Amino acid sequence: MFFIFTILKSLRSIDVGTDTELYKRMFNEIGTRPSLFFGEGAMDEISAPVYITIARLSYALSSHFNVFMFVTSVIITYGLIAFIKKTSYDYCLSIFCWSGLIFFITSMNLNRQFLAVTLMINAIVYFSKSLLSLKGWALAGIALSIHGTGILALSALGGIVLSKKIKNDKILFAIAVVAGTAVSVLYRFAISVFAMIFPRFEMYLDSSFEFYIFGEIGGGRIIFLYLLLFAICTLWILSSKSEDDDIYDFNRKILPIATFGTVFGIFNADMILMNRVIIYLTVFHISLIPAVVNKYKGVVRYAIYFGIIIALMLYYYIALRDNHSGVIPYNFFWQV
């Protein structure tokens, strides 16, 4: 799967992924600038110094855009595999969830953000063991130097601290639901005020615009996704079974942020930008789903397992049918 994910992402044409052509222009601009950060001709935007450096080094290796795509694809896929190996009871199911939750096809559009996503989720693995982990803060720093929205993933630290103090998972779940609801209400109010002050941003906030997320990706389907993920979080607390290992411990610690993220997503599914940045929270379900399945036995376990498989296959099919992130038709770079 490492090979397949890397090849499909790195050898695609610029027509695959709605923002791929933009990334190519950025790559060429970074590669041809006489100076990146200082002096005449320096980049005006240096909020992503690590990303700019990766692009510059790739351009020095080859000016072909797909070489750069290969480099970033390897980083993303390697980060994904490293995370799954440390946190999942079922590698195959986690990889399936990466595709079924459409993270893979979305990464063809949000390439820079997914570099930050895969680095951040690995940082959280280290933080789950120690909030002072040097490896964790190093990965987090690199991620933030690629895409500043990665700071949202650090909200998982609150859940980690909370899970250490509260041993009852039902209380953890309830706190996350209440927090997600409260923050959503406050956020909606703050956004409405912000839109009145800066009306040019209303296109990202108001569902009446043509970029409304429901219309963009299929008739409210995003709500179905968040409700499914919320149901998965609920299944965790309905089973009393626990394990004495690192994988169980990690998934218990990310239960609060995964629950918070799904609740927040339900309330804000009509906001395009929020559906993008909330990926930093919902991505933890690729390890949480196998952990939930592992908490059950017998017929119930198989029912949950195949129910999730069928639901995600349906969701993935609709995403492809509606050409989510502009990945259909798929073409290799030499075909255009």
Q: Rg (Cα) of the chain, in Å, rounded?
A: 20
pLDDT of residue 49: 86
Site of tokens 């030499």 = 334
- Distance between CA atoms of 187 and 293, rounded to whole angstroms? 33
pLDDT of residue 199: 65
Tell whether the model's pLDDT for residue 174 goes beyond 80.
yes
Tell whether the model's pLDDT for residue 311 goes beyond 60.
yes
**Where along the chain do its domains lie?**
2-331
The two three-digit tokens of residue 32, written as one number: 């041809």
Residue 197 region, left (φ>0) first, then alpha (ψ -120 to 50), else beta? alpha
Inter-helix orientation angle 49-61/20-32, to 10° = 80
pLDDT of residue 46: 56
Q: If you average pLDDT over every residue of the chain, what do you get?
A: 87
2 close to 78: Cβ distance less than 8 angstroms: yes
Report CA-CA distances (Å) from 150 to 13, 123, 155, 226, 239.
27, 11, 10, 20, 32
Residue 196's CB is within 10 A of a number of other CB atoms, namely 9
66 close to 111: Cβ distance less than 8 angstroms: no
The model's pLDDT over 198-227, given as tens digits with 9 standing for 90+, comes to 665 555 555 543 333 444 444 457 888 899
Question: HSE on the CB side for 94, CA within 13 Å?
Answer: 25
Segment among 31-45, 48-62, 85-99, 134-148 with least mean pLDDT = 31-45
Residue 100's CB is within 10 A of a number of other CB atoms, namely 23
Long-range contacts: 180-187, Cβ < 8 Å, 24+? 180/259, 180/260, 180/261, 180/262, 180/263, 180/264, 180/267, 181/263, 181/267, 183/260, 183/264, 184/263, 184/264, 184/266, 184/267, 184/268, 185/267, 187/264, 187/267, 187/268
Mean pLDDT value of segment 24-29: 88
The model's pLDDT over 60-111, given as tens digits with 9 standing for 90+, comes to 999 999 999 999 999 999 999 999 999 999 999 999 999 999 999 999 888 9
How many residues belong to the chain?
336
pLDDT of residue 329: 82
